């Protein structure tokens, strides 16, 4: 079976994108796992299905699990829709499990997305039994303060003095899979550089360490702003790019960044 696809990345966070008409729902999970494999498939952090009328983004992690939203993914989704002639407007709405998102096309391959307001207290969204804010969490001799919220999906933000790849990978997995998070959590390790710049990397549930996480960037800036560590407009520095995050006077969070198509073709899918 040959499936037409495009592959995009946003700040190094990469996705396979296909139209809904090209897939069989009963084979979708296996297709996702096979195609996202970086050795035997196309390779990607996530898999996106484009549903039309109304326009909807169906987002899946590389292990086949569904996620409410993806910040870098929705920019790549938007560029796909432009490239495929699905949308022609400079502003349009995309339906997601985390609600409708307003997309604004700023220029070639650059988008601003209204990521909505964060939610701190709805435990049904965070999947926890209590509010987690500035809670001490110890792994061996390392002490973290956890800040959990729902910013289009579940995030836990941890502020650190430096980004250590070994510790982030190991400790991110431990925090992500801690039983206190019944739905698991994305874990963002954040280093504040100055009031208008932060560095961060994310351990994503259903994926592991990634080069970028758009919703995680939003969640990190929200937490830093709440704690007085940054201003309301911040540039987030990532290993493969930058995102601009702004919190308006109503508390809505806006993300601005690019999306780039890096491959187009047919994936040869063989059922197990």
15 neighbors 78 (Cβ within 8 angstroms): no
Torsion sign (Cα): 259, 263, 264, 266? negative
- Residue whose C-alpha is closest to residue 42's, from 1, 8, 85: 8
Count CB neighbours of 75 within 10 A.
30
Q: Is 13 annotated as a binding residue?
A: yes
Q: Is 172 annotated as a binding residue?
A: no
The string of DSSP codes covering 12-70 is TEEEEEEEGGG--GGGHHHHHHHHH-TTTS---SEEEEEETTTTEEEEEETTS-EES--
Q: Is 250 annotated as a binding residue?
A: no
Strands (E), 98-224: 99-107, 110-114, 133-139, 142-150, 154-159, 186-194, 197-204, 208-210
Q: Is 72 annotated as a binding residue?
A: yes
Catalytic residues: 70, 213
Q: Is 104 annotated as a binding residue?
A: no
Q: Is 61 annotated as a binding residue?
A: yes
Q: Is 188 annotated as a binding residue?
A: no
CA dist list (Å): 252 to 132, 219, 233, 259: 21, 12, 12, 22
Q: Is 114 annotated as a binding residue?
A: no
Count CB neighbours of 74 within 10 A.
28
Which H or E element spans position 82? helix 71-83
Q: Is 73 annotated as a binding residue?
A: no
- Rounded to a whole number of angstroms, the CA Rg of the chain reads 18
Binding-site annotation: residue ranges for substrate: 13, 61, 71-72, 186, 204-205, 214-215
């Amino acid at each position: 079976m040959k499936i037409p696809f495009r592959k995009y990345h946003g700040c190094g966070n990469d996705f396979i994108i296909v139209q809904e008409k090209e897939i069989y729902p009963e084979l979708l999970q296996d297709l996702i796992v096979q195609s996202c494999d970086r050795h035997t498939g196309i390779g990607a952090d996530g898999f996106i299905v484009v549903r039309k009328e109304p326009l909807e983004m169906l987002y899946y992690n590389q292990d086949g699990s569904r996620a409410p939203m993806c910040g870098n993914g929705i920019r790549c989704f938007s560029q796909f829709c432009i490239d495929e002639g699905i949308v022609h407007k400079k502003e349009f709405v995309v339906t997601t499990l985390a609600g409708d998102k307003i997309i604004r096309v700023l220029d070639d391959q650059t988008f601003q997305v209204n990521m909505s307001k964060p939610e701190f207290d709805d435990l049904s969204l965070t999947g926890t039994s209590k509010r987690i804010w500035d809670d001490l969490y110890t792994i061996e001799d390392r002490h973290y303060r956890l800040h959990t919220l729902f910013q289009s999906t579940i995030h836990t933000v941890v502020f650190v003095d430096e980004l250590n790849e070994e510790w982030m990978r190991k400790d991110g997995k431990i925090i992500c899979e801690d039983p206190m998070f019944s739905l698991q959590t994305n874990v963002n390790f954040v280093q504040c550089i100055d009031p208008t710049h932060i560095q961060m990397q994310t351990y994503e549930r259903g994926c592991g360490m990634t080069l970028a996480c758009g919703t995680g960037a939003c969640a990190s800036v929200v937490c830093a702003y709440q704690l007085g560590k940054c201003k309301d407009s911040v540039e987030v520095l990532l290993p493969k790019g930058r995102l601009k995050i702004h919190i308006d006077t109503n508390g809505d969070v806006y993300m601005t960044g690019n999306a780039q198509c890096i491959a187009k073709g047919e994936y040869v899918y063989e059922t197990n």
